[in-house]
Structure 1
Amino acid sequence: MKSNATVTINAPADMVFLWLEDNDRLKKWVPNIVEDETILDTPDKVGSKFRQVYLERGKEMEMFGELTEYIENERMRLDITGDMFDMDLIYILTPQGPETSQLEQNTTIKFKGLMKFLSPIFSVMAKLGGDKATKVSLDRLKQMAEAEHKNT
C-alpha cells in the first residue's frame, strides 16, 4: 500500500527538519507514539537505529527502524519494521523561500502474515479517506513548526 502527502509550512527548512529528527518533537506530532528511543546513533546518521512504541486501540505496538538515507534539511528515509507490517518512509523537504518549506511524505507499507490478506481493504480505505492519518500528522507538524518559528 502506498500513500503520498504534501504540506506547505511557513517555517524555514532547517526548523521543519528538526521536527522530523528530534525525538521529543516527534512525539508531539506523530499520533499514538508513546515511546521513541535511539538504539544506535551513527556519526553520519545513516545506519542509526531506533525503537518506537505506539498505542493502537489500547494495545502497544513495538516498531524498530533504521535511517537509510539522510541529507540534512533536505531528505530522510526510514525503514521501519513491526509484527504486522514493514514501512518505507521518505520525507523530502524543499525550501520555497527563506521562510517557507514544502514537506512531502511518501509511505509504502507491506503487510505481513494475516494482515496481507486484508491489505486490499486497507488500500481502498486509504484511497477513500484520502490518507487521513498522514494528513492529520502533517497538519499537526505544520502547526507546531509554524508556532515555533513565529516565537523565534
Structure 2
Amino acid sequence: MKTTASVEIDRPIEDVFDLTIHHVAEWSDVVIEDQIIEETPDVVGTTFRSITENQGEQMVFEGVVTQYQYPNLNAIQLVGQLFDIDAAYFFERITSHKTKVTQVSDVRPKGGLKIIFLLFGWLMKTASCKAAEKELNNLKEYCEQQEGAIS
C-alpha cells in the first residue's frame, strides 16, 4: 500500500532535513524511540531500531538507510514482524526560508495481514493517508518552533 503526503515548512531546507531525520521521536506521534545501531561513513547502510506505538500497541522495526542525499533525500527500509515499510522523504527548497517535504511510503504486509490488506485495503489506505498528513503537520509544527539554525 503506497501513500504520499506533503507539507510546506517555514524553515530553511538544511534545518528541516536535520530536524526530520535526527529528531523523529520528538515530532512523531507514532515513533517513541529511534536508536542508531551502526553508523556508516556514507550514511547509506546505517542501521537503526525504531519502536512505534499506536493505540497502545508497540512494534519494533529494524531499519537501514537506503538512500541519502543531503539535504534533498533520505530513504529508509523498516522490517517489522507484521509488515515492512519503505519510506522516502524528499526535501525541496521553495525559498531560502521555506521547504516542501514529501513523504512517500510503501507498506508491505506479511502473513495473514496480507488478506486483511486485500479485503480492506481501500479503508486502510484512507486511514494511512490521514496518518501521514498528521505526522507531517506534527513535523511542520516541530520545525517551526525550534530556535535558531540547526545546521
TM-score (norm 2): 0.91
SS in 1 for 2:95: coil
Name the residue aligned to 1:51.
Answer: 49
The gaps in structure 2 that reach 5 residues or longer are: none
Q: Which amino acid aligns with 1:143?
A: E
Q: In structure 2, how many angstroms separate the alpha carbons of the residues matched to 1:57 and 1:18?
A: 28
Deviations 1:53-95 (A, max 9, x none): 1123323211010001000110011011100111110110000
Aligned length: 148
Name the residue aligned to 2:67.
Answer: 69
| Alignment CA distance shift 1:128-1:42 (3 Å) | closer
C-alpha RMSD over aligned residues: 1.5
Is 1:28 matched up with 2:26? Answer: yes
Alignment equivalent of 1:145, drawn from 143, 146, 150: 143
Deviations 1:83-132 (A, max 9, x none): 01111101100000100011000001110001000113453124444711
Kindly, what percent of the aligned residue pairs are identical?
A: 28
TM-score (norm 1): 0.91
| Alignment CA distance shift 1:42-1:122 (3 Å) | farther
Is 1:95 matched up with 2:93? Answer: yes
Q: In structure 2, how many angstroms separate the alpha carbons of the residues matched to 1:55 and 1:70?
A: 26
Q: In structure 1, how many angstroms separate the alpha carbons of the residues matched to 2:125 and 2:55?
A: 22
TM-superposed CA distance for 1:31, in Å, is: 1.7
Q: In structure 2, how many angstroms separate the alpha carbons of the residues matched to 1:32 and 1:101?
A: 23
Q: In structure 2, how many angstroms separate the alpha carbons of the residues matched to 1:13 and 1:109?
A: 27
Report if aligned partners of 1:126, 1:132 keep a CA contact under 8 Å in 2. Answer: no
SS in 2 for 1:4: strand
Report if aligned partners of 2:117, 2:124 keep a CA contact under 8 Å in 1. Answer: no
Name the residue aligned to 2:18.
Answer: 18
Name the residue aligned to 1:40.
Answer: 38
SS in 1 for 2:19: helix
SS in 1 for 2:97: coil
Q: In structure 2, how many angstroms separate the alpha carbons of the residues matched to 1:122 and 1:85?
A: 16
TM-superposed CA distance for 1:19, in Å, is: 1.8
Q: In structure 2, how many angstroms separate the alpha carbons of the residues matched to 1:123 and 1:4?
A: 15
Alignment equivalent of 2:115, drawn from 95, 114, 117: 117
Report if aligned partners of 2:10, 2:97 keep a CA contact under 8 Å in 1. Answer: yes
